[in-house]
Homo-oligomer: A and B are copies of this chain.
């Protein structure tokens, strides 16, 4: 997908070669420039109320080192800081391997629009190897996805339509003022729509696909913005590939809201009960 195409959010389809790719792969695609910067662009399938869905921006930022010929191993940690609003259209990404060790590699990444930094990220990659292992937290109740209704969003918002969500707890349409006395926990089966084999890009995007916890607590939509998000990957590429295109099970909740910011902590589980990733973020809210 060329950046030019992305500017026309609802225009003609892209050329056959580009439109054959899954929208997520189109959205995360980066073209290297002679000066070493990478060209990318927002994608209409992942439009948010204003600008793009942050999860796909996070995935695109991860794709900068992931697609580098210098890359060592698999992602272990990704932190994305959303520094300023991103406008629909083209952007540039600057990537730098700040340190390469024998089995780990550290990257610093920036997303620029009009030469201004709109997002920064850091990523740790590592060659994973077999060690002692233990999942200390208990996997949640994961009802058979065939028995959970597919959620339909009432708002005309693009990015949620790029996911198949099946809530077992805390769906957004349960918004009521009573939420203030309850908790902000949500659980759901979620996968790309159309279906796409799970990888680090889709898992990164999904780790930001939980609706803001404050919507559930306040019982209404309020102005929010994720400020910083960190995802720890417990699965390596092979484990993700073994999930195929099936839904993963996500659970998210807040710990604290106050003084304009709230946190969110989330886990993403494979259908077989494997903890694939956990993710934490801090979110600005207005009131």
Contacts and interface: CB of A to CB of B under 8 A. Distances in A.
A99 B116 contact: yes
B124 A122 contact: no
Nearest to A217: B134
A204 interface: no
A228 B77 contact: yes
Contact of A99 (B101, B117, B284): B117
A122 B77 contact: no
B110 A83 contact: no
A187 interface: no
A108 B121 CA distance: 10
Interface in A90-143: 98-99, 101, 104, 106, 108, 110, 116-118, 120, 122, 124, 126, 128-137
A244 to B, nearest CB: 20
A287 B136 contact: no
Interface stretch (A18-26, A194-202, A261-269): A261-269
B280 A228 contact: no
Contacts of A267: 255
Contacts of A287: 131-132
Contact of A265 (B76, B133, B265, B285): B265
Interface in A229-284: 230, 232, 234, 236, 253-261, 263, 265, 267, 275, 278, 280, 282, 284
Contacts of A122: 79, 81, 120, 122, 228
A218 B132 CA distance: 9
A183 B77 contact: no
B101 A136 contact: no
Given A84-B99, A106-B81, A228-B230, A131 B260 contact: yes
Nearest to A134: B257
Counting from the closest, the 5 A-B pairs by CB-CB distance are A133-B258, A83-B99, A128-B259, A83-B106, A77-B228
